[in-house]
Amino acid sequence: MEDTDKTRLSPFPKIELHVHLEATVRPERLLEIAKRNGFDLPADTPEGIRDLYRFRDFNHFIQVWILTTNALRTTEDFSQVVVDYAGEAARHGAVYLEGIFSPIERTWRGVGWDELFAGYCDGAQEALETHGVEVRLTPDITRGAPVEDGFELVRRATKYRDRGIVGIGLGGEEALYPPEKFTEVFELVREEGFASVPHAGEVVGAASVRGALDALHADRIRHGIRALEDPALVEELAERRVVLDVTPVSNLRTGVVDSLSEHPLPELIAAGIPCTVSTDDPEMFDTDLTREYDAAMSLAVDPKALYEAAVEGALCGEETRERLRRTGESYDWSGLAVGAREGRA
């Protein structure tokens, strides 16, 4: 895997619905945060952190995730993460973001719930003021956590509903913890007016997607690409217009697909399922929004269709949705060379 300086840009309008904010922290910023928090990292240079980030296998990825996210401890840290990534995404044309964060693991290590939520919400407000990018937030319940921790996350999120918390997700080790474990938690999610946006159908097959739909009443599916293993499920997703958050480079890095040319994104779209494109874990998977769209366009996927699906799937109010719709309608998409690019993965 070749690291990127992330200097190549394709600034046509983009909407990103699936990015783990903890995995957006640039090495230089991680070193700065760790230093002010007195947290020891196994490397003390940006080059060393980049080598640490370099994806080897999924177990290594989890180890790096735990190590680096433990450095984030204060409201200032969480806010800074959001503002930094909004600026980075804006360079690639992002006009709207939905950021994921995983608070449960942080609370296990002594960080307060309010520090977490207030920090990310402060960052979302500052991101709009500084970079003009609207950011909404969708905290993930950790699959390996006790069910009571899921209930606590939802209860805490209600305090910040008016500050940009719009949905609740489910993330972590999909193969070990099926969605049904959190059925009752997601009943509370719905009662509190949040959208249900679980990860499903990435490393586990169509049964995971079915569980997310039936047990968690998913409004949108993060990943979902293995739904193709069940034709009836594909038909249902298309009929219900369930938007999938697709992350091509991430799927390649983690071995969910063997090669970019084999990625199921075109087949999903051809089946009538609305799909979007996102970075997932950009720093740890050496990707960015330009690279993701290059990958999708190399598969002859129309970026305008991706944008329109994202408008449809965004967890925003109608005023924002109409603004995003107008942004897409006013852009001349005809100049983009779909199918002519190399997927730079």
Residues with active-site annotation: 202
79 closest CA partner among 137, 118, 109, 113: 118
The full DSSP string for 116-177 is HHHHHHHHHHHHHHHH--EEEE-PEEETTS-HHHHHHHHHHHHTTGGGTB-EEEEES-TTTS
Scanning the chain, the segments in alpha helix (DSSP H) are: 27-36, 46-53, 58-69, 75-91, 103-108, 113-131, 147-158, 183-191, 206-214, 231-240, 248-253, 265-270, 289-298, 303-313, 318-330
- CA-CA distance, 208 to 175, in Å (whole number)? 9
SS (H, E, C) 134-150: EEEECCEEECCCCHHHH
221 closest CA partner among 320, 103, 236: 236
Tokens 């970079």 identify what position? Answer: 131
Q: Which long-range contacts (CB under 8 A, 24 or more apart) does 109-114 make?
A: 109/70, 111/72, 111/73, 113/152, 113/156, 114/156, 114/159
Helices 303-313 and 289-298, packing angle to 10 deg: 120
Q: Which residues contact residue 44 at a Cβ distance below 8 angstroms, ignoring those fewer than 6 apart?
A: 31
Residue 253's CB is within 10 A of a number of other CB atoms, namely: 23
